[in-house]
Chains A and B, each alone.
Chain A
Amino acid sequence: MCIPSELDRRAAVAALLRNRKDTLVVAGLGSPTYDLHATGDRDDNFYLWGAMGGAALIGLGLAQAQPSRRVLALTGDGEQLMGLGGIATIGVARPSNLVIVVIDNQHFGETGMQASHTGRGVDLTAIATACGFVATATVRTLEEVQGLAADIAEPADGPRLFVIKVRAENPPRSLPSRDAVFIKNRFRAHLGFAAA
């Protein structure tokens, strides 16, 4: 059931975001936050260090507030599994500008690499399809990630969820600021909103 992937997560995220242009990105706690930071710190990145299960839903609120911008929720399998109900909520909301990408190493990497549900047969893309997402796919190679990046850049008529299967390992951490108020105000300033 657990098909290991040899794809390097940092290379995959770098390829995914190379031409992100003005895409707003929210990263789930743990490795996706480090992966996003490793591609370069930017004002339009929002990094989570907690709120497990919330990354895609922060993406939903943001996508609804900024309908003309593409929003990418970049998260991990453990984080998205905790927010499984959120896939149903997003499926009902049908934001056409929200894309969820799960960097799936099939393990809880931050806590000692315990096996997660996605390595034991749980398929997040099938769940998303059943919840009304308009496009889903699972990819395993860098070439496929490059194709996915091109697909994501095209408009869609509803939410999309993609799983990138990666090798289970913890690359050296790339740590963004843990000051959520700073990251929040920087993000809002990027969109033209003043701090209180």
Chain B
Amino acid sequence: MHSPNPETDWPSELYRVLKAAGVKQMSYVPDAGHSQLIRMFSADADVTTNVLTTEEEGIAIAAGAWLGGQRSVLLMQSSGVGNCINMLSLSAIGRFPLLMLVTMRGEWAEFNPWQVPMSRATQPSLEAIGLKVMRAETAGDLVETVESAAALAYESDQQIAVLIGQRLIGKKKW
């Protein structure tokens, strides 16, 4: 039996964990760090995927999905968190389950200085609007963290952002 190594194939592990959690909708603004997960969901006829023009759209889609009885996950990079803040009022005040997977930029071997300010603001701004923030720096920890975050979100009506450390994603080649 094929058993993927979580240290090298964590996107496949995240896909497995999210499928096991019953995720039926996935929305995203692309990030290189999410590219494999986006490909896997896009190839899955059992999951509806939405490409977004801005990340806050995914907050509203997730709330609508929940109203209709489905679980949704939202993928973005840290720069997109700033676009989401007012829309997160919806998840917070409606206690809508929310699971966001955020790939971090601007914090580890970053080439583009424009990524740094929003990187610094990501966790404090998410916490300020009321989200629970979980972080993972290794692949093994990430898979376990997402599994636990999915349970907290969908079973306990929590709003959770999992930050995926840039150290884990690796350096972007320029």
Contact = CB atoms under 8 A, between A and B. Distances in A.
Interface string A72-97: 00000000000101101100110000
B89 A50 contact: yes
Given A50-B89, A57-B57, A61-B64, A184 B95 contact: yes
Given A60-B50, A61-B65, A196 B60 contact: no
A89 B96 contact: no
Nearest to B68: A65
Nearest to A57: B60
B21 to A, nearest CB: 15
A51 B64 contact: no
B63 interface: yes
A61 B51 CA distance: 13
Interface residues of B, number: 34
Contacts of A181: 93-95
A196 B156 CA distance: 7
Contacts of B65: 61-62, 64-65
Given A54-B59, A64-B25, A184-B96, A46 B67 contact: yes
Interface residues of A, number: 37
A58 B89 contact: no
B3 interface: no
A192 B67 CA distance: 11
A59 interface: yes
Contacts of A85: 52-54, 57
A61 B62 contact: yes
27 contacts: A26-B64, A26-B67, A48-B90, A50-B90, A51-B60, A52-B86, A53-B60, A53-B87, A57-B64, A58-B63, A58-B67, A58-B90, A59-B64, A61-B63, A61-B67, A61-B70, A61-B72, A62-B64, A65-B25, A86-B53, A92-B51, A181-B94, A183-B94, A184-B96, A187-B67, A196-B155, A196-B156
Interface of A: 24, 26, 46, 48, 50-55, 57-66, 83, 85-86, 88-89, 92-93, 180-181, 183-184, 187-188, 191-193, 196
Given A54-B87, A60-B64, 4 more contacts: A50-B86, A51-B87, A60-B50, A183-B94
